[in-house]
Structure 1
């Protein structure tokens, strides 16, 4: 027993000695872990990138939209299958999107260096089952690429660098207001003024003069965003069944020159903006559809013209109706840059809406959106005639409580072509924009007669007005989670009168159509979580 006890004690003593020797070989203190540090210089959500003096913020939102009797993101039923109200139209359309933003900022001796980017991961139905449906510059839609189970796409919004007052990249134009096309609405189709809310490639510089006064000047790339269309009204079938023609803009020759002067104060904001835009046509001789042929280059081309626009914007805060209430309002005038009036978050729309008629097969309203038109040759317009447009829009935003808010919004826009109605039948012939347009329109719409309002006769006038009125109510039950419901009325005030027999876009038949103003109403529902 004594021998066994001695053996156990000896073994224990040996283990203790061994453990002590191993412990002596370990470092006395582990290396400190480098935790993420909060960056409070630029607001909530920023933190330092480990090992650097650069602050970064990752954010964005997840949004689900559902629109009844309209397109994605609240576009009214103003064209296509929706405008025709045919059997191919979708009665409702859903879109789901996650926007991811990355914002970095570094303090330097020149001021803050900032980079910002936003990518939208989204899925929606791209359309009707109408085989004639097109997407992206007339290319037939391949639904297998985008609109299929497990499909979707990534869209790029802002991508820019800011340094020493300069901005380089894809950002909101220096011409735009801070709210762009959203004074109070959630839809991205409120016309009446400029909208570059998803960014345009540009270079701009902003100078701060103190007391909230600033000025910006910039150069915008107009190719994708700032141009509508130029029509050559001398080509075969220049104006089609829906009152629109083929776009024959030349290549980009010059950036748009834009700028603003702005005053930001506790009472609100006032801004004056201006833009200069070059309007150019490709060739005098073109095949149907505006396609060039072997005679195009030697046929000459119209001389380019410079157009432009101006905008005044006003925001009024501290209203007696309640805390956080405000009014946002802007008014615009454009000549040759119609996109700064008939603007959405995408391309500028043309309008082709059908409805009921008291005597014809149906009624129809047309509206062609252009920067200019021309008819080459003797008796033509003598060059590009710029299109005139003006508009106004605004909203009153009211907070009922911290959880409920409502916005009442509206707009009015007008597009005007040079000349008088039926100039093609009067002494002006085709020398005015209206005369050239109406001559091309008559080739695809029979029955025109001077001041004729009987069946099969019409007066031609491509001018039009559009009006919108809507209301949106939002509920925010918890911070950064909002549910919205928006109703919008859209009215097309077209200036044609009488009726015509013509072949409308299929599936519409060749029939007698009455020219008449048109209306449509849509409902948009949204759930959005910001993070």
Structure 2
């Protein structure tokens, strides 16, 4: 049999300040606009939104948005995975009760969507935005042998705040621009470490190569861990910047970079992570709507266990706490 699929990047309706459909999050600001890999990845990270934007004049606006939290979850672990202690008076291992695991929280079904808000200004000099988000953390519990949850931690709200600045630098050359952004997240890791916000996330880092350390993050990163029956959140912050310069109207170059610091719950088995990247590209447009570009990016990841020792994985200790990779991209793009 032959399989086929259609991928939709954007599909939404806007009317009288209302946005409804499949669109970019209203938390997003800088989405790697000056880089090839960032632009491609960011457009794929849309979410389901229902938002209202109020315009105040002179370029000022404010938005409140309800968004699907499923697109913002870092979880594929088990929050109660099999660490056991004997129940009082019981020695049979099969009757021992689970103690909350420290390897990450497994999400239960969504009850409350993410609530996102921003305050933005767009004028001739550029744009600026401050934004915030609330993200529900719901523990699934421990399924055990019967595959029925037997214990759950109480719900908790994660959150994130950020600010971004875009400066038009036409005094240097027409089309020149500088982007700056910073985000802090507590229990809502994707807002600080997601492709749409240029922290890097799993898809971007894994794109740095099929490497032991980068791929291991798929099983290490969590929004939270359940420790002693309570949700303990992961805290993270990231900064990102990008600068684009036009040498001629047909030739432009960009330099960009990002840094993320991720502190996961201290009593967990999850790694603390520092990740950064820096890159440069040059794009030639010989005719209108045709881009011929080349980009080089360096990625670096450093990971430590909660005891302070470097993270080590692989049968031959192939990852010892730090790993770097160079990535080159050639892109030929026709715009319609």
Please report the TM-score for the alignment, with normalisation by the length of structure 2. 0.82
Alignment of 1:258 with 2:111, yes or no, is no
- Specify the alignment match of 2:163 in structure 1: 312
Give 1:188 shift. 3.3
1:467 aligns with 2:325: no
Aligned to 2:245: 398
Distance 1:524 1:187 in 2: 8
Written as runs of structure 1 = structure 2, the 5 A alignment for 1:399-418 is 399-417=246-264
Match of residue 187, structure 1, among 11, 22, 37: 37
* Shift, 1:207, TM fit: 0.8
Asked if the contact 1:353/1:364 (under 8 Å) is kept, the reply is: no
In the TM superposition, what are the counterparts of 1:501-520 in structure 2 within 5 Å? 504=314, 510-512=315-317, 515-520=320-325
Matching residue of 2:9: 157
Q: Map Cα deviations across residues 267-307 of structure 1 (whole Å, 9 max, x no partner).
A: 11110001011011101x234xxxxx42633x231111001
Residues of 2 paired with 1:255 and 1:520: CA distance?
36
Equivalence for 2:92: none
Aligned counterparts of 2:170 and 2:20: Cα–Cα separation in 1: 37
Structure 1: runs of 5 or more not aligned: 1-143, 147-151, 239-243, 288-292, 356-361, 418-432, 439-461, 505-509
Shift of residue 157, structure 1, vs aligned partner: 1.5
Asked whether 1:339 is paired with 2:197, we answer no
1: CA distance, partners of 2:72 / 2:311: 34
* Equivalent position of 2:99 in the other structure: none
What RMSD over aligned residues (CA atoms) do the two structures have, in Å? Answer: 3.2
Q: Structure 1 length normalisation: TM-score? A: 0.53
Q: Choose the corresponding residue for 1:227, options 59, 62, 73.
A: 73
Give 2:154's match in structure 1, choosing from 298, 303, 308: 303
Match of residue 28, structure 2, among 155, 169, 176: 176
Work out which of the two has the higher radius of gyration on C-alpha atoms and give 1 or 2: 1
Shift of 1:324: 1.5
Decide whether the 8 Å contact of 1:168 with 1:204 is kept in 2. yes
Instruction: Please state how far the C-alpha of 1:161 moved relative to its aligned partner.
Output: 1.0
Q: Where does 1:253-402 land on structure 2 (aligned, <5 Å)?
A: 253-283=111-141, 285-287=142-144, 293-294=145-146, 296-297=148-149, 299-344=150-195, 348-349=201-202, 367=217, 368-375=220-227, 380=228, 382-402=229-249
1:186 is displaced (CA, Å) by 1.1
Superposed displacement of residue 258, structure 1: 0.4
**TM-fit CA distance, 1:405:** 0.3
Report if aligned partners of 1:158, 1:198 keep a CA contact under 8 Å in 2. Answer: no
Question: Structure 2: which 5+ runs fail to align?
Answer: 85-101
Query: Which of 107, 127, 134 is equivalent to 1:249?
Result: 107
What corresponds to 2:91 in structure 1?
none
CA deviations 1:175-219 (Å, max 9, x no partner) are 122xx422311103899xxx5754211100111111111111110
| Residue 229 (structure 1) shift | 1.4
- Structure 2 vs 1, CA of residues 334 and 210 (structure 1 numbering), >3 Å: closer, same or farther? same
**Partner Cα separation in structure 2 for residue 190 and residue 389 of structure 1:** 24
Q: 1:237 to 1:349 in 2, by over 3 A?
A: farther
Q: For 2:304 and 2:160, how far apart are their aligned partners in 1?
A: 24
